[in-house]
Amino acid sequence: MSTAIGPRPIIGRVAIYAAAIILAVYSAFPIYWMITSSLRPTQELLLNPTLVPRSFTLEYYYSLLAQTDYPRQFLNSLIVALATVALTMVLSIMIAYGVTRQRIRGKQFIIIGMLYAYMFPPLLLAIPLYSMFTYIGLNDTLLSLVISHLTITMPLGVWFLWGFFKTMPFELEEAAMVDGCTRLGAFLRVVLPLSVPGLVTVAIFAFLLSWTDYTFALVMIGSDANKTVPLGLASMIGAFDLRWGDIMAGSTLIALPLFAAFVMLSRYFVQGLTAGAVKG
């Protein structure tokens, strides 16, 4: 007995696919335009841009890397982002695991307070943090930028990992301790391997927030030697000189580490987002 598919399910599927395609094109087009603009000659970029470039050039990349401080700024951003990710992972794991497994009074308020701290705008936190760093002598340093980034990455990491650890059966750790593991050994050998998707998700978010930050860098950094990439690109925009080609090239280079991270870790990232959505 054959069953025919009615017109309504077909129309619904077509509508879903059409909406998905429109959303994908809408999201990807600015990235496509950024990359192609970094490869167009100056005349085509400014006077008669087309959807598909007629010719390609690498002059903007040469000028960006050879005539500006972009390599130094890129290195500063990389140092700050990696240090922020490392500290975020260590502190978030310790706090989230502690409030999940240990008997701590008011741990719900700790978690809620961390999430509430994440809701503050960065500019609202940057000004008092700058006053504190100036008082202790850490102003205009990469360390001050790392500490500032922790105010937005660590609450998110704690909140996400808390929901992840909370639904992980404690019996798994008990079984490992029965087999001879210590509490720390059970955590390292059982809990962390099972938490890889969540850890990767937190690491990607922390790297993304730190790598693309402009607000904290604008307030904390004053010298050219400590500027990060977003701050350096913003300084290229002048009142009489607007170097669109260099800006597009620099923006493309900023996006490359993010693209690489998502390509290499996309499987864990999707698993971590799914687990965080259903386990909280």
pLDDT tens by residue, 125-162:
888 999 999 999 888 899 999 999 999 898 888 888 88
Residues 158, 114: Cα–Cα separation, whole Å: 7
Predicted pLDDT at 148: 93
In contact, 279 and 166? CB cutoff 8 Å: yes
The maximal CA–CA distance of the chain, rounded, in angstroms, is 81
Q: Flag whether pLDDT at 180 surpasses 50.
A: yes
* Contact indicator for 273, 199 with CB cutoff of 8 Å: no
Residue 251 has pLDDT above 60, yes or no: yes
Residue 82 has pLDDT above 90, yes or no: yes
SS3 of 106, please?
A: coil
User: What whole-number distance in Å separates Cα of residue 219 and Cα of residue 221?
Assistant: 6
Per-residue pLDDT, averaged over 231-251, amounts to 78
CA distance 211 to 226: 14
Least confident of 88-92, 169-173, 175-179, 236-240: 236-240
Most confident of 196-205, 210-219, 228-237: 210-219
Please tell us whether the domain made up of 60-279 is placed in CATH 2.40.110.10. Answer: no
Give, in order, the Cα–Cα distances in Å from 123 to each of 14, 49, 84: 44, 36, 18
Residue type, 41: P
| Contact status, residue 234 vs residue 68, Cβ threshold 8 Å | no
pLDDT band at 277 (very low <50, low <70, confident <90, very high): very low
Neighbouring CB atoms inside 10 A of 204's CB total 20
